[in-house]
Structure 1
C-alpha cells in the first residue's frame, strides 16, 4: 500500500531517503545564499564572513540554512525512534516526506519574505516530528 497518491512506498528505504534529502537541504540553502549574494572564489577564504555580510534574500536564505540545521536533529531522531519502536513504516514514510516537503516550502517562504506563512510551515514541520515521537510512545505502551 502507498500513501500520498502512490508517491511514498512502504519500505524503510523511503524514510532513509527522506532523511538524506532533509540533510542536504541546509547545504542547498547555503548554496542559494551564496549565489544570490554574489559569492566569488575570493570569498571562499572566509565564507562565514561573506554570509554574515549578506542582506535581503541572500541573508534570508542563510537564515533558512541555519534553521534547517537547527531542526534537522529533531527530525532525524524522530524518524529513527519511530522506526526503532516499529511504528508502521508507511506512516513513518508519509510523515517523513511531509516534513521534507514542508521544509522546502518553509525555505521558499523564508527567501521570499513570507514571514507568517513561514512560521505556519515551521510549526507544521515540527508537528510531523512530534507526531512521530507520539506514535512511537503509543506503540511502546
Structure 2
C-alpha cells in the first residue's frame, strides 16, 4: 500500500491517471497494484472463514468478543470501500455516490451526514481526499 501511495494523487482530475501511471510506467507497479487489490479479496475470504468457524463453534455466545469482531468487520468493509473508490473511474465515482447516499436514509441527520462525507453538495475532490486519508490510515 505504501508503494502505491507514493505514486497516487488524490485529485479528481489526476487520480485515474496516477493509477494508470502506476500500472504502466512504474516498474512492477501492475504487480503491486494487483497484489494489493487481490490480497484484500483474499483477506476477506479468510475473514469469512473465520466468521464461519466462529458460528460453528458458538463463539458468538461470548457477546463482547463477537461484537468487537463485528465492529472490526464493518471497519474493514469501510476501508475496502474507500479503497475501491480511489482509482476514480466511472464505477468508483458512482459507487461512492450511491453508497454514500445511503446515509440520507437516516432520519433527521441523514442529508447533513451525506454532505459532511462528501465535503460539499456532491462527490468531488474533498470526498476523494477524505477517502484516501481513511484508506491510508
Same-fold call, TM cutoff 0.5: no
Q: TM-score, normalised by structure 1?
A: 0.31
Q: TM-score, normalised by structure 2?
A: 0.31
The structure with the largest helix share of the pair is 1
